[in-house]
Structure 1
Amino acid sequence: MSSPNNPHTGPIPDPLPVHIYKIIPDEPPSPLPAEWPLSDLDRNDGFIHFSTAKQIPITASLYFKDTTNLWIFKLPFRPFADKIRWEVPHTDGCPHLYGANFGAADVLDVRGFQRGDGQGWKEVLGGEAWLEH
């Protein structure tokens, strides 16, 4: 259900997720920075693109289809809840973070994933236990 003021607003999930996830195409630095540097896409769009666990395979397939390695940050949802807008680019309400950023103190875990020749991201990430709802 969309808001009349914002046709791109998607449904708020019920229940709300425990975690949100950020996909990046390059291995993150170690240690992680206190404030994550915004990607060109995030800077240009004016918000940080996150995904829910269910959306990760879809997001990876749509936006990282030519990438063979991905890294995914797992963050707690609750500290960001009041700055998240659920908006619809291609799936039900993607979490977009407005007016804030995240950094090392917020990241619970980081994992790298690799897809083999002929594999799609949905095959690699679908059913991945690490991606908790």
Structure 2
Amino acid sequence: MTSKVIFIYKICPEQDWRSAVEKGVFTGTQIDIEDGFIHFSPPEEVETTAAKYFAGQDGLVLVRFPVASLSAALKWEASRDNILFPHFYAPLDPRLADRVWSLRLNGRKHIFPEDMTRETAYQE
């Protein structure tokens, strides 16, 4: 069996996302711009990403992108704990996102939507 990631996720300030939608282009958050690529998380790591980098931050959204809709600018590279993470090396059309959820807080922890895909799909 091989694994296939169907969706990847971006956590960002709601205002950054709204601005991208208005402009028709998402160039990333400040850290993305500094690093030279847009940081994404695979489904099984997005909640860890939120806890590690966004704990206690309010006003965030979770944006889901189907991997099949993204171009060759998407690269899978080793990151924390040597896990492969998706990095996007180009400006991104926000219309490629298929879902956007508000991330609410419960203390310092974010409440993730029940209907998000959390696992990698497996196929024969």
TM (norm. structure 1) is 0.72
Tell me, in whole angstroms, the C-alpha distance in 1 between the residues paired with 2:95 and 2:57: 27
Distance 1:77 1:24, change over 3 A: same
- Could you tell me whether the CA contact under 8 Å between 1:68 and 1:116 is conserved in 2? no
Higher relative helix content? 2
Identity value in percent: 24
The offset of 1:84, in angstroms, is: 2.0
- Equivalent of residue 94 in structure 1, options 74, 77, 85: 85
Per-residue CA deviations over 1:49-86 (Å, capped at 9, x if unaligned) read: 01111111011011101313420111110132522222
Aligned to 1:7: none
- Runs of at least 4 residues of structure 1 off by over 3 A? none
The offset of 1:113, in angstroms, is: 1.6
The offset of 1:112, in angstroms, is: 0.4
Distance 1:44 1:113, change over 3 A: same
Aligned to 1:11: none
The offset of 1:30, in angstroms, is: 7.6
Aligned to 1:22: 10
Alignment gaps of 5+ in structure 1: 1-13
Distance 1:84 1:31, change over 3 A: closer
Three-state SS of the structure 1 residue aligned to 2:96 is coil
Per-residue CA deviations over 1:84-112 (Å, capped at 9, x if unaligned) read: 222232141110012x2222321111100
Residue 66 (1) aligns with residue 56 (2)? yes
Three-state SS of the structure 2 residue aligned to 1:111 is strand
Higher relative strand content? 2
- Could you tell me whether the CA contact under 8 Å between 2:56 and 2:109 is conserved in 1? no
TM (norm. structure 2) is 0.77
- Kindly tell me the number of residue pairs found equivalent between the two proteins: 115
Residue 130 (1) aligns with residue 116 (2)? yes
Per-residue CA deviations over 1:27-50 (Å, capped at 9, x if unaligned) read: 432882311143221111111101
Aligned to 1:43: 33
- Letter in structure 2 aligned against 1:95: P
What root-mean-square deviation, in Å, do the aligned CA atoms of Structure 1 and Structure 2 show? 2.4
